């Protein structure tokens, strides 16, 4: 049997406008940098609070490297778990109001680890159709039966779970491609009624929403009883790298014993944990960053309304400009790049066919001038007055 023709498949992706390529950055993570050798203002980073290039975080990383070296040397369960890791886990547990927290190397691995550790053959996992790929893949790795409900449709989830034995319900807190919030109070009630675990991936909510940036759960006033499984990432609003799961003592001990992506992965560098402790402290005490971000979101949406721009309904830093077709999203992205702005197009399979968009993301580090420049360029996008034809549900 002949090997698969990879060249033909790559050619098909190029012809369909779905081929992806990497861009080379030649500057720290910040709005104004250099991409592929060109100066561009970025509106597609998840550095929501502007902490990725903060001097105190940089200094903490440098000092951490002096203290701990560069690598951790092994997995957490061998000899890679340092006092820096332990201190960060304790900080994250206190921050989220949970008894314990457990570090993972990435959010993807955290979701794979949690779902596969807590579910298996014969179990049913219910997930929002627009969940992050890692949540969907976690159910597949755990070999559970995966059932997907329409986006943010708690009523349909209640119908699907009625009279059944659900093992776990999983959802994004803030949906990464849409910027909207999951109906967490309703999902928590359904989980309670069915006896299921509720897992919330709050990668895009932590640092941004709630008191001191405690996330979407705090935004809705939900505690660890209502939502026993919380996953958060460190590489977005906190500006560093990695992820964690927070929950009960028994939950964390179970994950240490059973979560394969935790057991069989080298721990992240201790110096990185030391830097994250500083970025977490900055995010908590410098509330002006969230205030600034909220003001930028309001200004962008007000300007978009005046221009008739088809922004999705989002009150978070994720502001999707709906294009509809892949071709239009690519054309819009190229037009913005020619104006010195980097906004990458999001295309299938990341989003459903017919819902391609520009995923505009804002940072507290953006200036008023940056935002005005973006709005001015958006007003000149080809075909913008026509608007997209999209079923956003």
Catalytic residues: 176, 204, 236
How far is it, in rounded angstroms, from Cα 123 to Cα 111?
Answer: 17
Residue 90: how many other CB atoms lie within 10 Å: 13
Q: Packing angle between helix 184-194 and helix 154-161, nearest 10 degrees?
A: 10
Q: Is 254 exposed, middle or buried (0-12, 13-18, 19+ CB in 10 A)?
A: middle
The two three-digit tokens of residue 55, written as one number? 């001097």
Residue 131: how many other CB atoms lie within 10 Å: 22
Count Cβ neighbours within 10 Å for each residue of 145-159 and write b for 16 or more, e otherwise: ebebbebbbbeebbe
Query: What is the SS3 assignment for the chain?
Result: CCCCCHHHHHHHHHHCCCCCCCCCECCCCCCEEEECCEEEEECCCCCCCCCCCCHHHHHHHHHHHHHHCCCCCCEHHHHHCCHHHHHHHHHHHHHHCCCEEEEECCHHHHHHHHHHHHCCCCCEEEEECCCCHHHHHHHHHCCCEEEEECCCCHHHHHHHHCCCCCCEEEEECECCCCCCECCHHHHHHHHHHHCCEEEEECCCCCCCCCHHHCCHHHHHCCCCCCCCEEEEECCCCCCCCCEEEEECHHHHHHHHHHCHHHHCCECCCHHHHHHHHHHHHHHHHCCHHHHHHHHHHHHHHHHHHHHCCCECCCCCCEEEEEEECHHHHHHHHHHHHHCCEECCEECCCCCCCCCEEEEEECCCCCCHHHHHHHHHHHCCCCCHHHCCCCCCC
How far is it, in rounded angstroms, from Cα 241 to Cα 235?
Answer: 4
């Amino acid at each position: 049997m002949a090997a698969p023709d990879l060249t033909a498949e790559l050619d098909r992706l190029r012809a369909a406008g779905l081929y992806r390529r990497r861009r080379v950055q030649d500057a720290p993570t910040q709005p104004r940098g250099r991409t592929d050798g060109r100066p561009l203002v970025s509106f597609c980073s998840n550095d929501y609070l502007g902490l990725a290039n903060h001097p105190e975080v940089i200094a903490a990383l440098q000092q951490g490297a002096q203290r701990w070296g560069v690598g951790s040397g092994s997995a957490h369960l061998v000899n890679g778990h340092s006092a820096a890791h332990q201190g960060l886990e304790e900080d994250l547990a206190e921050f989220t109001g949970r008894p314990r927290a457990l570090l993972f190397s990435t959010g993807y691995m955290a979701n794979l680890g949690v779902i596969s550790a807590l579910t298996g053959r014969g179990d049913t996992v219910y997930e929002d159709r627009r969940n992050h790929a890692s949540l969907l893949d976690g159910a597949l790795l755990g070999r559970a039966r995966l059932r997907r409900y329409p986006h943010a449709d708690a009523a349909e989830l209640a119908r699907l779970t009625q009279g059944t034995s659900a093992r776990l319900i999983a959802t994004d807190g803030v949906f990464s491609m849409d910027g909207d919030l999951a109906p967490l109070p309703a999902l928590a009630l359904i989980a309670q009624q069915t006896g299921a675990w509720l897992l919330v991936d709050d990668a895009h909510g932590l640092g941004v929403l709630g008191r001191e940036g405690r996330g979407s759960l705090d935004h809705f006033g939900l505690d660890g009883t209502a939502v026993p499984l919380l996953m958060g990432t460190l590489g977005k609003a906190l500006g560093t790298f990695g992820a964690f799961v927070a929950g009960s003592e028994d939950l964390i001990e179970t994950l240490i014993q059973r979560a394969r992506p935790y057991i069989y992965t080298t721990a992240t560098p201790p110096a990185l944990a030391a830097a994250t402790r500083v970025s977490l402290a900055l995010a908590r005490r410098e509330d002006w960053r969230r205030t600034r971000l909220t003001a930028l979101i309001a200004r962008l949406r007000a300007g978009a309304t005046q221009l008739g721009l088809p922004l999705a309904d989002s009150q978070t830093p994720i502001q999707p400009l709906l294009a509809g077709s892949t071709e239009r999203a690519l054309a819009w992205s190229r037009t913005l790049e020619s104006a010195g702005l980097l906004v990458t197009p999001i295309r299938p399979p990341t989003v459903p066919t017919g819902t391609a968009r520009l995923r505009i993301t804002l940072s507290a580090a953006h200036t008023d001038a940056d935002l005005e420049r973006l709005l001015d360029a958006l007003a000149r996008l080809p075909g913008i007055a026509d608007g997209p034809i999209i079923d956003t549900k």
